[in-house]
């Protein structure tokens, strides 16, 4: 039986140190819990290169660890190659989405994370940068949106 191609997902925010690495870590944990690591490739990047090579922001690391997630990754800017490599490019807010579309990323591959969560009342993950008290709220919307996205993707490959 031929092996199905991997689903390749890129999470994107502004600097790739708060929201997108949090989504990447959460999504990776969900993928691992479901036992579908071989079926999914996950990465994150930023529309800006200002934090290139940095670890996730300390407040992001703290909230991830408090909630039981492994923290990993280094910030990197989105590249032109990402547009063709990833099947799903999942942005945290409309500004990130607009930046990618302006760079020629295919609209059919670019979405907002919260658009995948049927219970979401808004389509953006707010930027907590500079507001330590907002990191728990960031996670409160990332976790269900990532779970909904994974379920949606696995239904498409007969895994759910």
User: Mean of the pLDDT values across residues 38-63?
Assistant: 95
Q: Are 145 and 114 contacting, i.e. CB atoms less than 8 angstroms apart?
A: yes
Closest CA to 15 of 48, 40, 39, 38: 48
- Of 9-13, 110-114, 150-154, the range with the lowest mean pLDDT is 150-154
Catalytic site residue 127? yes
Region 29-33 average pLDDT = 97
Residue 25: is its pLDDT beyond 50? yes
Structure confidence at residue 156 as a pLDDT band (50, 70, 90): low
Catalytic residue, candidates 18, 19, 25, 82: 19
Please identify which of the residues 43, 59, 93, 127 carries the catalytic annotation.
127
The pLDDT value given to residue 5: 78
CATH fold for domain 7-156:
Rossmann fold (3.40.50)
The residue extents of the domains of the chain are 7-156
Q: Binning pLDDT at 50, 70 and 90, where does residue 136 land?
A: very high
Give the phi and the psi of residue 17 in degrees, each rounded to 5: -130, -10
pLDDT digits (tens, 9 = 90+) for 68-120: 999 999 999 999 999 999 999 999 999 999 999 999 999 999 999 999 999 99
pLDDT at residue 64 greater than cutoff 80: yes
Torsions phi, psi for 58 (to 5 deg) = -50, -40
Query: Across all residues in the chain, what is the average pLDDT?
Result: 93
Q: Is 76 a catalytic residue?
A: no
pLDDT exceeds cutoff 50 at 159: no
Confidence of residue 155 (pLDDT cuts 50, 70, 90): confident
Question: How large is the average pLDDT for residues 146-157?
Answer: 88
CA 102/CA 118 separation, integer angstroms: 27
**What mean pLDDT comes out for the span 14-33?**
98
Residue 13 annotated to the active site: yes
Please, is 40 exposed, middle or buried when counting C-beta atoms within 10 Å of its C-beta (0-12, 13-18, 19+)?
Answer: buried
Q: Taking a C-beta distance cutoff of 8 angstroms, is the pair 71, 87 a contact?
A: no
């Amino acid at each position: 039986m031929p092996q199905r191609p991997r689903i390749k997902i890129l999470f994107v925010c502004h600097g790739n140190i708060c929201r997108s690495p949090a989504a990447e870590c959460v999504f990776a944990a969900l993928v691992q819990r479901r036992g579908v690591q071989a079926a999914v490739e996950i990465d994150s990047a930023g529309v800006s290169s200002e934090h290139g090579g940095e670890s996730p922001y300390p407040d992001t690391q703290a909230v991830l660890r408090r909630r039981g997630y492994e923290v990993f990754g280094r910030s990197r800017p989105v590249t032109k190659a990402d547009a063709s490599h990833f099947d799903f490019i999942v942005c945290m807010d409309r500004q990130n989405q607009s930046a990618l579309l302006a760079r020629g990323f295919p609209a059919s591959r670019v979405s907002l994370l919260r658009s995948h969560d049927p219970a979401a009342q808004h389509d953006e993950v707010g930027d907590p940068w500079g507001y330590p008290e907002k990191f728990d709220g960031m996670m409160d919307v990332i976790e269900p949106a990532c779970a909904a996205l994974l379920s949606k993707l696995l239904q498409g490959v007969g895994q759910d």
